[in-house]
A and B are shown apart, each in its own frame.
Chain A
Amino acid sequence: MGIVSRGFGGRRSSRAVNLPPGQYLVEDFPVLSAGPTPLVNLGSWTFTVRSETGEAQEWNWAQFLALPHESITVDLHCVTKWSKLGTAWEGVSLDTLLSDVASSAEFVLVSAYGGYTTNLPLEDLLDGKAWVADRYDGEALSPEHGGPARLLVPHLYLWKSAKWVRDIQLLNNDEPGFWESVGYHNYGDPWREQRYWGD
């Protein structure tokens, strides 16, 4: 996991870092969005995990803030080919959020405020690989980057890290999400350059 060397003066340098194939380095943080930015009131915000049998566990904002948070520094790889290294987040591990859920499901469908969805294998959310992040770079996560809280799954292309995350539905059968149903790869591993169907 890269910590950015500031010694290059912000200039693009791919010789010093190991990027996934086809990616280039950025220093800013591009904002991509498939719709208007939802402005979610913290008073009505909830995050829900729902098992395949319909059993639900819900947190309001105060309850979510009280969960143990971790500091994470990770590299981000967007399918539109930019990569940003050494981004610093704080959030709650999915291991924590899923620890009390009784499930034999293998898949999840993540839904966001505003209607966005993305699908993943459940195992990609476990064992310290995914978080619900509510702070970026030492500050509350801004709405354009997915605040109040977003999913963070840095080992997959960034479209899997749903902004404005609202709930996680565990499923026995995989169900393609917003981009996965229209050409983007179902799994999206940047190191195998899984951008589109069939890659």
Chain B
Amino acid sequence: MSDTWVDGNGLAGALRELFAVDITTARGTCVGCGTVGPVAGARVYTRAPGVVARCPGCGGVLFRLVRGPDRAWLDLRGVTCLEIQVPDSG
């Protein structure tokens, strides 16, 4: 039916505002089922009052992002431990 998700690359713009790194390449673990994968692998629902990213393994909510006119809210309770690539400091 209206199962119209796009892939997690669609998050890049929304999250660039909050994070200085490209978070779509970060790897997260789903709280619901333990699936580990890059944020870009999430199923993202944007035709909603906010952005909802769901686990490709179990469909559980990984995170929710709401953008108000002057504030944004990010709830990451569906993800444990994001692994984020950073420049080599050595």
Contact = CB atoms under 8 A, between A and B. Distances in A.
B19 to A, nearest CB: 17
A39 B49 contact: no
Interface residues of B, number: 23
B73 A182 contact: yes
A39 B75 contact: no
Given A115-B61, A179-B50, A184-B49, A39 B68 contact: no
Majority secondary structure, A binding face: loop
Interface in A34-84: 34-37, 39, 78-80
A136 interface: no
B78 to A, nearest CB: 11
Contacts of A195: 68
A35 B44 CA distance: 8
A113 interface: no
A36 B59 contact: yes
B71 A183 contact: yes
B1 interface: yes
Contact of A143 (B1, B5, B65): B1
Interface in A20-35: 31-35
Contacts of B59: 35-36
B45 A181 contact: no
Interface string B63-84: 0111010011111000000000
A182 B1 contact: no
Contact of B54 (A32, A35, A39, A159): A35
Given A182-B64, A182-B75, A36 B49 contact: no
B82 to A, nearest CB: 17
A35 B68 contact: no
Contacts of A196: 66, 68, 71
Interface of B: 1-3, 5, 45, 47-50, 52, 54, 59-61, 64-66, 68, 71-75
16 contacts: A31-B47, A32-B47, A34-B61, A35-B59, A36-B1, A37-B1, A159-B49, A182-B65, A182-B73, A183-B72, A184-B50, A195-B68, A196-B68, A196-B71, A197-B71, A197-B73
